[in-house]
Amino acid sequence: MEELPPPPPGTALPPIRRGETRALEAGTRLWRVHFVAGPRAAAWNGFRDHGPAATARFDHHLTTGQGRAIYYAAANEAPDRRTAAIACVAEAFQDTRTIDPRRGEPWLVGFALASRLLVLDLTAAWLTRAGGNQAISSGSRATARAWSRAIYERDVHGVAYRPSTYGPGWAVALYELAIPAVPPRPKIHKPLADPGLAGFLRRAADELGYALL
């Protein structure tokens, strides 16, 4: 597998051309699995301001407390919301490949963006012109974080990428610049232990090849 090189100095990065960003229009549905208990506890709309985290791929923090924050979610690519919801389940349980709807009290949240966001598409040609490659989604997380810090200076709200855990899905890592686009209330917010999600979790486990407790 080709390794991801570090990004060039900021002044050497090429401009972003038309078609190399993805517009997340107002009303675009984003999905996330978040935990309300344990070490990974976070609010459904909480941008994480501490970091960078060693396990996170696109944290753009320099050090904790300097005002930068990140939010990871899956984005609807088509009217079928199931693909995006499965993508965030794949990410949340990738370490064990076991969906546990109770440990850490995971919740599924879906919300519609309140305003338009513009994110850099990491599957577009910009990354190649800049000297990178698609290992940004599956290779060294530390190097990917360095790329994210460089991209942060390019006046975009975050990045869009194909997650290595689930190819059909689209994921986004949003910088704190996107906070105003998050609505005060989500459209859907349910614990994974909710009986109404049992069928969805069975389908997700079957699609991903994950175990389901």
User: What is the predicted pLDDT for the residue at 9?
Assistant: 85
For the chain, which domains are there?
17-212 (3.90.175)
Query: How confident is the model at residue 155, as a pLDDT?
Result: 87
User: Distance (Å, rounded) from C-alpha 38 to C-alpha 204?
Assistant: 24
* pLDDT higher than 80, residue 79: no
Q: What is the pLDDT of residue 97?
A: 97
pLDDT at 170 over 70: yes
Mean pLDDT of 90-99: 95
Q: Is the model's pLDDT at 78 over the cut of 60?
A: no
At 181-205, the pLDDT tens digits run: 999 999 999 999 999 999 999 999 9
Residue 124 is predicted with a pLDDT of 95
CA distances from 33 to 1, 104, 132, 147 (A): 30, 11, 29, 25
Quick check: 67 pLDDT over 80?
A: yes
List, edge to edge, every strand of the sheet that includes 106-112. Answer: 21-24, 117-121, 158-161, 170-175, 70-75, 29-35, 106-112, 188-191
* Confidence bin at 10 (pLDDT 50/70/90): confident
pLDDT confidence band for 66 (50 / 70 / 90): confident
Q: Which residues contact 171 (CB under 8 A, 6 or more apart)?
A: 72, 73, 74, 75, 87, 91, 160, 161, 162, 163
Contact 36, 107 (CB under 8 A): yes
At 1, the pLDDT band (50, 70, 90 cuts) reads low
Q: What is the pTM of this model?
A: 0.94
Query: Taking the CA of residue 54 as centre, how many other CA atoms within 13 Å lie in the half-sphere pointing to its CB?
Result: 0
